[in-house]
Amino acid sequence: MLLCPGAATSRWLGFGTDVVDELGVRLVSVDRPGLGASDPAPGRTLSDWAADVRHLAAERGLVDLAVVGMSAGVPFALVCAAAGVAVAAAVVSGDELASPAFTGLLTPEVRDLVALATTDPARAEEVFADFGSVETLWEIAVERSSGTDGAVYRQPAFASAFRRALTEAFARGPAGYARDTVLVMAPWPFDPAEITVPVDLWYGGRDTSPVHSPDLGATLAGRLPDARRHVVPEAGGSLLWTHAREILDSLVRPRARG
Domain count of the chain?
1
Burial class (CB in 10 A: 0-12, 13-18, 19+), 194: exposed
**CA distance readout (Å), 69 to 88, 111, 156, 248:** 11, 22, 24, 12
Q: What radius of gyration do the chain's Cα atoms show?
A: 17
Residue 150 belongs to a domain: yes
**Residue 211, in any domain of the structure:** yes
Q: Read off the CATH number of the domain in which 177 is found.
A: 3.40.50.1820
Asked if the model's pLDDT at residue 255 lies above 80, the reply is no
Query: In the chain, how many H helices and how many E strands?
Result: 12, 6
**In this model, does residue 258 exceed pLDDT 90?**
no
| pLDDT per position as a tens digit, 132-164 | 999 999 999 888 887 899 999 999 999 999 999
Does residue 257 lie in a domain region?
no
* pLDDT tens digits for range 57-74: 999 999 999 999 999 999
Instruction: Please check whether residue 46 lies inside any domain of the structure.
Output: yes
Q: Residue 254 has what pLDDT?
A: 55
Q: Is the pLDDT of residue 256 over 60?
A: no
DSSP summary character for residue 7: T
Question: Residue 206: pLDDT above 70?
Answer: yes
Q: Is 258 among the domain residues?
A: no
- Domain range for 89: 2-252
* Strand ordering across the sheet containing 227-232: 28-29, 2-4, 66-70, 88-92, 199-204, 227-232
pTM for the complete prediction? 0.96
Q: Distance between CA 26 and CA 196 in Å, rounded?
A: 23
Could you tell me if residue 65 is inside a domain? Answer: yes
